Amino acid sequence: MSLSKEKKLEYIDKTIAFCLMGLVIILPIAHTTTIRALLLWIPVFFWVVKMIIERRCGLKRTPFEIPMFIFFITILISFFTSLKLITSISELRGEFLTYTTLFYLVTNNVKKEKYIQNLVSILFLGSLVMAVYAIVDYLIHSDSIFSMSYRTGSLHQGFGAYAQYIIMVVPFNILAFFYRKDLAGKAILFSLILLNCSALYLTHTRGAWIALYVEVLLVVIFTFKGHIKRWGTVAFMTTAILLTVLVLPESVVWHGAKGVDPNNVTARNTVETRMIVWRNTVNEFVKAPFKPAGYGKVNFKRRFPDSSFEQAHNTFINTAVQLGIQGLITLLFIIYAILKMSWSIWKRGETEFQRNFSLAVFIMTAGFFTANQFAEFYIDDTALLFWLFVGICTSIYTQNLLILSNDKKH
């Protein structure tokens, strides 16, 4: 007995949704490359089958075709001056094309609100496991929360990547707390926020702390009603942060000796170390801003062989070095398109869930690229998770446009 067309499509949609939920769980866990690939390419295969069954191309128009195409062109241009062409080609396949595939897979197949809610719930479940493991892991390896001898990375590849993961989860976590109406749900979500923030502190990753402050600041500005309540909370947050910095040991705040001198040649702490590598990289880059070193992080080291760093600890600087000023401008264009799209859904979304989710994507994007100004984590699993949720937001956007178009016709 053969299945009807509707049943086949239903089973395909459920298979794709199941694989994506598995991907959300697996992405932050180290040494899961094979499973991750299966959970990405199996739904891609079923998506192709779905298009064959429906006898149409299952690609929606999005706000990203033009900026992504231009970014693709800048990558191809970088091949002509690439310091290691084979690596650039490999990075194109393993990074940019993989992100793009996941983005369009999600945009064109995650349509039902219940599937999106399930993905968010899975994200929270995964972050709970990660946070509990991170805290236990830290307590096993260190006898003081102020010790820099150990920095928890949970099940992730390292403390920096794990901190970036938390930065991506927290906006959804906080806005879900506001979205839920029942007291039990709020209590669970608030506990999860505390666990994630505690785990974030134990990574001792200061760039991520700054990103978290930016995210919470945006939540307050966008969700708190009333001038006094909103700006009073901002003032309280700022004061609390300043007092916390004064109380924390110098080793935790500075990762070395106290103080910052931008003109120092020899770094006394990791703050000055970053300032030195930023200054040296930019000074060399401006000599040939339109001549890319080639797509791929390995080309940074080839462009700056005397540097003790493999990258500039700054996504924008790294992009400029690899793809030239044209690549940096295009990346900024993509970020602007994401912020503009998520903002428009927040202002005019069909449901409260859509508005909260799109605001979470807006805040996540701001926090994600804030943290990436202090380290390069717009790669691998963090970039995949980023584009997965941007893809969901884009799916909501395209569905709302379709509704508006149908309303105008009638």
Q: What percent of the chain has pLDDT over 90?
A: 66
Tell me what pLDDT residue 173 has. Answer: 97
Q: What is the mean pLDDT of the chain?
A: 91
User: In this structure, which long-range contacts are made by residues 316-322, counting pairs with CB atoms below 8 Å and at least 24 apart in sequence?
Assistant: 316/372, 316/373, 317/278, 317/281, 317/282, 317/285, 318/376, 320/285, 320/289, 321/281, 321/285, 321/292, 321/293, 322/78, 322/292, 322/293, 322/294, 322/295, 322/296, 322/297
Tell me what pLDDT residue 60 has. Answer: 84
Indicate if the pLDDT at residue 307 is higher than 80.
no
Token readout for 168 is: 């991506």
Mind listing the pLDDT tens digit for each residue in 238-291?
999 889 888 888 888 888 888 888 778 788 888 888 888 898 899 888 998 999
Count of all residues that appear for the chain in the document:
410
The answer to which of 73-87, 276-290, 369-383, 391-405 has the lowest mean pLDDT is 391-405
Listed by start position, the domains of the chain span 5-409
104 Cβ partners below 8 Å, 6+ apart? 59, 391
Tell me what pLDDT residue 382 has. Answer: 93
Tell me what pLDDT residue 406 has. Answer: 56
- Beta bridge partners of residue 269, listed in sequence order: 256
Mind listing the pLDDT tens digit for each residue in 168-191?
999 999 999 988 889 999 999 999
Tell me what pLDDT residue 54 has. Answer: 87
